[in-house]
Structure 1
């Protein structure tokens, strides 16, 4: 090789879940890696409710069950109410003191959601709900629940009495256990409201065609889409997110759930507390926001919780709320989890007692305003509505591999 040519670096990675990824870069100085996924199958264009998509999901659950501690095998106590979907019958049930596996749903509320539990229709909802009356997002989430052999699903609009402030306050305070004990959280990533579709048609194989490997026609290699799934990463400021991931309540739901399947525009994606994956392979090579947070709660605490919480503040501050006062409630489950871990000391209105001085170094990046009512002291990022960014350079310098 001549002196004017640089050596191309090639590495074979095995990031988990049975994946094999080849990554290449032009030189030691280059920070831009290109990734190629190996497959033992043809990748045809198909919908996210296809048989193969469900097999992917079952495989991810199986790997998590066998290799991780994300979900306990013991049946948890059910939330106060759940939707029973067994035996082709859908109805809301009072689940007090019952145990069982249940799914949860993260979905985007539209401006005029009419299909919800109220004091006046409660008896009807607990008797029988006709399939035709159920909005499409809920129907398709129930289909996934049944395909996985789970009997119950928790959907906030059907399991909290929406015109009962006392019931809402009580149940909203239980989000940590509701999502934290969920068998699997279904994220309706693209649906704008409950009538939107969970399932979509993918075009991955047309956009990123696979090639046969010479000497072994059983193996396919496909270039991985570049810079995809940035909204799942821990190191990116991402302005363009799918509709669901723009909503403030959803951040807590994503992180508290032991496992999440995202029904995206092109494919399904997976996050558990220990791993992440997707049908195109793009998620396995980025530093993941959810697993980084859960590492910070563990005994070694790397990265430390206060630093990881600054990532949460950055993401959370960019999200939308219909009611500004919900900002504290919609973060309270995560705050409780952080307090229980003991990794941050006292929780101080969006910051942690440990490394407090460092967390006070936040700045506002865009147009902002003060809340109409008091939410937090002025030194907390929760005291303003606007996108904030924390100062993380000190931790990066002393921990360059993060």
Structure 2
């Protein structure tokens, strides 16, 4: 349902204001109490924008907005038609976009209103007041059956391949009768427990399945598998000893029925602790993550829980899950062939999936990203409902037949698959006939390579915004996805600390994604720190890898091969921390040899207010021009630890690529020490085509600088060869 204010605006254009723009402008709620009342009465639109407003008011920039917007209308709305070849106009179905702004400054909601022809009799109406109900269970089973029957590929996992250990949902202390066929079964519990079972003790001929669990560990203590209690776990684990999330997952897995007999939970199936045995077991099991999740029947995700004490199940108001519809007048909306019609439209909050799934607590954990992507399907236990995610469909109780594929990207509404759809766009099937790419980066039309890398680019950008309890896990927590990607790329495309050998020159140009606040961009990024804020002592990744930084807003991955390259990769040296896992931990000594033009520079930080927080100039050229547009990887850390500013900073500029827009993109490097052939990445800079002085940057290397004295020098090309570590 929607409130009277929203209905009057959409059906009768009440509150309309002429602005001479492409969209229709409306006054919405005049004051906060009016909006709060609509939220209380469960308006499907106002409930969403009220939650967004409350979240916005908790942010720092709210104070600035509040001052700047004094006296303005509380809420404004903007209505427009969505156009483009991908929309369903050819079938007579229109789509409209509805935006809301707080005091005409901060956007607090975007909705799509899609013309509906669906019969009311086919609608799903949730009545259950908790996600532990049989009603919710039956919907989950319906999704699974639909996936098994109608979706391509093997969605049920592999019931002949098992992890090293599993939790038996029906150990010998339980009487269990299972039927094949449609999966109907009768189980009578004699004890209130589960047990740990080893792979070699699983009856392979039975064809039993296992599910997996994604969860947040949290700060509280919980029972876990250790070397000293391994045999005890095999004898049995009382449910009373387990945290609420584990108990709920076990309950739901048992109720799924069919041939689901086991569950895999990391802390109960991998030996924990600080002993060598625990470390060895962790390394061994980390190597198997790809297989563990890929072969599972389903992944259960405690999506909304911040720790094991909160459990998976939630109480809720079922009426908040009912569909929201309205009658919309398209009178006066530009871009429509007929603008005097009244349309019956279904209302969709474009932030629904992001709020309830993508940005939920468990999915902000770094390890969970690969769990979501590797598992054939995921059932999310969200704050108010369950949701479904597989290669071909996203759904929720409020959208049981599939969530419309509308997404908000870069301010525009597009159609396209969400995160898990990436695994059906090039991750899983290797292409043996794919075009061979020149490993020296000499190919200029590598559109196929860019397309192949697009899923990896999106995964890395998403992963770089997640959190890890142990920063040293940065690469190994992504190793399962990397292993899956490698199958698609082929054996000759070497994995290099989160990057790939083909097109490596361009991939080196990743950058930190800045945060825009109060009219300025800020680079809130650092070298890896532990939970106490101390610098991590363990080696994680070479400086040329995005894995060498932690960025609040993540990183932007560079995979375009278009434009002119100014460097070449001469050799790659990978020092794996585990010889059995080329996608996992790394040791010091990992490096690449790069040939290019090295120009010594001086990096400065302007004292007066400037749009550029950092600037640089050529050190050897007297009176040289200053350049801005600098993006440093970890500004504060590198200033303190590496002394990068001023004439003693040992800083160099390495022109890397001129893109199709004419920008010369250069890596900013620092010599590890005077007389060393080794350099570390500090950031990058972009020089527009209209800026003078570019020709000097692209001239031959500074052969006379102290730091380059020991580096290999090619007088004919004017290039140095350096080691980037």
TM-score computed with the length of structure 1 as normaliser: 0.81
Contact (CA 8 Å) 2:158, 2:297: kept in 1 or not? no
Alignment pair present for 1:339 and 2:504? no
In the TM superposition, residue 40 of structure 1 has moved relative to its aligned partner by 2.7
The answer to whether residue 171 in structure 2 is matched with residue 61 in structure 1 is no
Does 2:196 match 1:92? yes
* Structure 1: runs of 5 or more not aligned: 14-21, 214-219, 396-402
Match of 1:183 in 2: 297
- Residue 270 of structure 1 is matched in structure 2 by 388
1:314 deviates by 1.0
**In 2, Cα distance between equivalents of 1:128 and 1:357:** 54
Q: Relative to structure 1, is the Cα distance of residues 231 and 349 closer, same or farther in structure 2, using a 3 angstrom cutoff? A: farther
2:331 maps to which residue?
none
The match for 2:511 is 363
Greater fraction helix: 1
Contact 1:208 1:225 in 2 (8 A): no
* 1:108 counterpart = 2:216: yes
1:23 & 1:103 partners in 2: Cα distance?
41
SS of residue in 1 equivalent to 2:459: helix
Relative distance call for 1:23 and 1:179 in structure 2 (3 A) is: farther
Tell me the equivalent position of 1:398.
none
**Counterparts of 1:211 and 1:25 in 2: how far apart (Å)?**
13
Structure whose alpha-carbon radius of gyration is higher: 2
CA distance in structure 2 between the aligned counterparts of 1:195 and 1:225, rounded to whole angstroms: 30
Change (3 A) 1:204 1:172: same
Answer yes or no: is 1:223 the counterpart of 2:327: no
Superposition map of 1:201-220 within 5 A: 201-203=315-317, 205-206=319-320
Q: Would the aligned equivalents of 1:208 and 1:223 in 2 still touch at CA under 8 Å?
A: no
The aligned counterpart of 1:19 is none
Three-state SS of the structure 1 residue aligned to 2:196 is: strand
1:299-314 matches, cutoff 5 A: 304-314=451-461
Shift of 1:393: 8.4
Highest RCO, 1 vs 2 (Cα 8 Å, sep ≥ 6): 1
Within 5 Å, give how 1:3-402 maps onto structure 2.
Answer: 24-25=95-96, 33-35=112-114, 38=118, 39-44=122-127, 46-67=129-150, 68-71=152-155, 74-86=158-170, 87=174, 88=189, 89-96=193-200, 98=202, 99=204, 100-149=208-257, 150-163=260-273, 164-203=278-317, 205-206=319-320, 223-230=347-354, 241-281=359-399, 283-286=403-406, 287-297=417-427, 298=429, 304-342=451-489, 345-365=493-513, 366-371=523-528, 372-386=537-551, 387-391=554-558
> Is the partner of 1:90 in helix, strand or coil?
strand
Distance 1:316 1:232, change over 3 A: farther
**Paired residues of 1:78 and 1:97 also in contact (CA < 8 A):** no
The offset of 1:376, in angstroms, is: 2.3
Q: How far apart are the structure 2 equivalents of 1:232 and 1:212?
A: 23
Deviation at 1:231, TM superposition (A): 6.4
| Residues matched between the structures, number | 371
* C-alpha contact (below 8 Å) 1:108/1:192 kept by paired residues: yes
Between 1:376-385 and 1:261-270, the stretch displaced more is: 376-385
**CA drift at 1:249:** 0.6
2:126·2:397 contact (CA, 8 Å) conserved in 1? no
How far apart are residue 354 of structure 1 and its match?
Answer: 3.1
Higher mean C-alpha deviation, range 301-310 or range 140-149: 301-310
Structure 2 CA distance, aligned partners of 1:79 and 1:112? Answer: 27
Measured on the aligned residues, the alpha-carbon RMSD in Å equals 3.4
Q: What is the CA–CA distance in structure 1 between the aligned matches of 2:281 and 2:22, rounded to whole Å?
A: 69
How far apart are the structure 2 equivalents of 1:259 and 1:73?
9
- Mapped partners of 2:214, 2:371: distance in 1: 7
Q: Residues 72, 51 of structure 1: CA spacing in aligned structure 2 closer, same or farther, 3 A cutoff?
A: closer
Q: Determine the structure 2 residue equivalent to 1:399.
A: none
SS in 2 for 1:309: helix
